[in-house]
Amino acid sequence: MKITAADTIVTSPGRNFVTLRITTEDGITGLGDGTLNGRELAVASYLSDHVAPLLIGRDAARIEDTWQYLYRGAYWRRGPVTMAAVAAVDTALWDIKAKAAGMPLYQLLGGASRTGALAYGHASGRDVPEILDSVRAHLAQGYRAIRIQSGIPGLDSVYGVAASGAGGGDRYDYEPARRSADGPPRPVEEVWDTRAYLRHVPRVFEAVRAEFGPELPLLHDGHHRMTPIQAARLGKDLEPYDLFWLEDATPAEDPTALRLVRQHTTTPLAIGEVFNSPHDYGVLLSERLIDYVRSAVTHVGGVTAMRKLLDLAALYGIKSGIHGPTDISPVGMAAALHLDLAVHNFGIQEYMRHSAGTLEVFRTSYRFGEGLLHPSDQPGLGVELDETAAARFPYAPAYLPVNRLTDGTVHDW
pLDDT 10s digits, 80-116: 999 999 999 999 999 999 999 999 999 999 999 999 9
- Per residue in 314-372, pLDDT tens? 999 999 999 999 999 999 999 999 999 999 999 999 999 999 999 999 999 999 999 99
The better pLDDT of the pair 163, 124 is held by 124
pLDDT at 171: 56
Check pLDDT > 90 for residue 63. yes
**Does pLDDT of 181 surpass 60?**
yes
pLDDT score of 204 more than 90: yes
Q: What is the pLDDT of residue 174?
A: 58
pLDDT tier, 34 (very low <50, low <70, confident <90, very high otherwise): very high
Residue 413: pLDDT over 70: no
Residue 176 confidence (pLDDT): 65
Residue 286 pLDDT greater than 70, yes or no: yes
Q: Distance between CA 338 and CA 335 in Å, rounded?
A: 5
% the chain with pLDDT above 70: 96
Q: Which amino acid is at 162?
A: A
pLDDT at 25: 98
pLDDT (0 to 100) of residue 184: 81
Confidence class of residue 168 from pLDDT cuts 50, 70 and 90? low
Q: So what's the pLDDT on residue 188? A: 82
Band (162; pLDDT cuts 50, 70, 90): confident
Q: State pLDDT tens for residues 254-282.
A: 999 999 999 999 999 999 999 999 999 99
In this model, does residue 183 exceed pLDDT 80? no
pLDDT at residue 57 tops 70: yes
The model's pTM is 0.95
| Residues marked as catalytic | 159, 223
Mean pLDDT of the chain: 94
> 172 pLDDT band (50/70/90 cuts)?
low
pLDDT for residue 180 is more than 80: no
Least confident range of 226-240, 360-374, 375-389, 391-405: 391-405
With 60 as the cut, is the pLDDT of residue 173 above it?
A: no
